[in-house]
């Protein structure tokens, strides 16, 4: 990939252009795993137009890169070692290992610890298998928690009648939830790592979409009504959310 650069008051900012057909209107900034700025652009933007747009907005681009790099640095890099802290509904709990003779490995949250209970291990267990064990656990807990909260929140929404809306779980990289035009709410199981008010906010947000598909005035009026504390929750997810998405 060809590298290009802009200049922000003497500071050179390198970037690469990535054309993505799904991107239709604007330029979108991302930070690559290697820390290089990636500019995702619709096909019809020439490299020249991209460069001049970025150059015109150089201070904004510089700010984006600085913040994104900072965020990248404080991302947890889980090793699944004894004592390592893992999030669950806004709290962090140490991971502990316990041995059992029962057949299957299990995860449980008790006494302020996330316990991985498993058979006495002869060979070392891979990080990957512990990761998938934890992911399955988060998913089961998320299903339980989100189902309960969705039912409770829908009950207070005057526009939802009858049974609670259909819900699915899907692990997503950037999105907490969405609501399809067929009225199916999809939630990201990673959301279970966030505090309760954030979980409620995302669910309430999607429940509002059952009535108003777009983020217009009417949508925000519904959201204010259903979950008045949404701004605070949204701000928390904006600044801390990336930590839960790992
Ligand atoms: Zn929305």
Residue 24: band (very low, low, confident or very high) from pLDDT cuts 50, 70, 90: low
Is 33 contained in some domain? yes
**68-77, 127-136, 142-151 — most confident range:** 142-151
For residues 118 and 153, membership in a common domain is answered with no
For residues 178 and 128, membership in a common domain is answered with no
Q: Determine the number of helices (DSSP H) and then strands (DSSP E) in the chain.
A: 6, 11
Is 219 contained in some domain? yes
Please give the distance, rounded to the nearest whole angstrom, from the Cα atom of residue 75 to the centre of ligand 1: 25
121 pLDDT higher than 80? no
Nearest to 98 by CA among 107, 90, 89: 107
pLDDT (0 to 100) of residue 154:
95
Please give the distance, rounded to the nearest whole angstrom, from the Cα atom of residue 226 to the centre of ligand 1: 14
For residues 152 and 237, membership in a common domain is answered with yes
pLDDT (0 to 100) of residue 72:
80
Please give the distance, rounded to the nearest whole angstrom, from the Cα atom of residue 215 to the centre of ligand 1: 6
Residue 21: band (very low, low, confident or very high) from pLDDT cuts 50, 70, 90: confident
For residues 219 and 160, membership in a common domain is answered with yes
Please give the distance, rounded to the nearest whole angstrom, from the Cα atom of residue 60 to the centre of ligand 1: 25
Please give the distance, rounded to the nearest whole angstrom, from the Cα atom of residue 196 to the centre of ligand 1: 19
Q: How much of the chain, in percent, has pLDDT values that exceed 90?
A: 68
Is 78 contained in some domain? no
Full domain range(s) for residue 170 = 146-244
CATH number, domain containing residue 196: 3.30.2010.10
Query: Could you tell me which residues are beta bridge partners of residue 7?
Result: 12
For residues 35 and 113, membership in a common domain is answered with no
Sign of the torsion angle spanned by Cα atoms 179, 157, 231, 76:
negative
Is 115 contained in some domain? yes
For residues 16 and 49, membership in a common domain is answered with yes
Of 73, 102, 123, the last residue of a domain is 73
For residues 158 and 225, membership in a common domain is answered with yes
Query: Which pLDDT tens digit goes with each residue over 134-174?
Result: 999 999 999 999 999 999 999 999 999 888 899 999 998 88
For residues 234 and 154, membership in a common domain is answered with yes
**Model pTM score:** 0.75
Is 232 contained in some domain? yes
Is 202 contained in some domain? yes
Is 79 contained in some domain? no
For residues 240 and 152, membership in a common domain is answered with yes
Please say whether the beta carbons of 67 and 91 come within 8 A. Answer: no
For residues 156 and 239, membership in a common domain is answered with yes
Please give the distance, rounded to the nearest whole angstrom, from the Cα atom of residue 153 to the centre of ligand 1: 16
- Average pLDDT on 80-105 reads 91
For residues 16 and 58, membership in a common domain is answered with yes
The structural domain count of the chain equals 3
- Residues in contact with 135: Cβ distance below 8 Å, sequence separation at least 6, in sequence order: 171, 189
Alpha helices in the chain (DSSP H): 47-56, 58-73, 127-156, 196-209, 217-226, 230-244
For residues 130 and 150, membership in a common domain is answered with no
């Amino acid at each position: 990939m060809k590298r290009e650069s802009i200049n922000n008051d003497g500071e050179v900012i390198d970037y690469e252009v990535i054309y993505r057909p799904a991107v239709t209107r604007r330029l979108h900034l991302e930070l690559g795993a290697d820390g290089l700025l990636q500019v995702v652009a619709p096909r019809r933007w020439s490299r020249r137009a991209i460069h001049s747009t970025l150059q015109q907005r150089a201070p904004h681009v510089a700010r984006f890169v600085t913040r994104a790099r900072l965020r990248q640095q404080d991302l947890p890099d889980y090793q699944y070692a004894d004592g390592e802290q893992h999030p669950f509904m806004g709290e962090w709990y140490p991971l502990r290992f316990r041995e059992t003779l029962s057949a299957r490995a299990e995860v449980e949250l008790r006494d302020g610890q996330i316990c991985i209970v498993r058979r006495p291990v002869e060979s070392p267990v891979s990080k990957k298998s512990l990761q998938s064990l934890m992911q399955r656990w988060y998913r089961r807990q998320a299903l339980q928690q989100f189902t309960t909260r969705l039912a409770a929140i829908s009950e207070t929404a005057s526009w939802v009648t009858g049974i609670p809306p259909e819900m699915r779980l899907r692990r997503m990289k950037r999105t907490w939830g969405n609501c399809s035009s067929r009225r199916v709410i999809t939630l990201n199981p990673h959301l279970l790592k966030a505090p309760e008010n954030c979980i409620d906010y995302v669910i309430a947000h999607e429940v509002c979409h059952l009535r108003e598909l777009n983020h217009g005035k009417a949508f925000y009026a519904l959201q204010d009504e259903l979950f008045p504390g949404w701004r605070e929750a949204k701000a928390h997810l904006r600044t801390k959310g990336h930590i839960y998405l790992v």
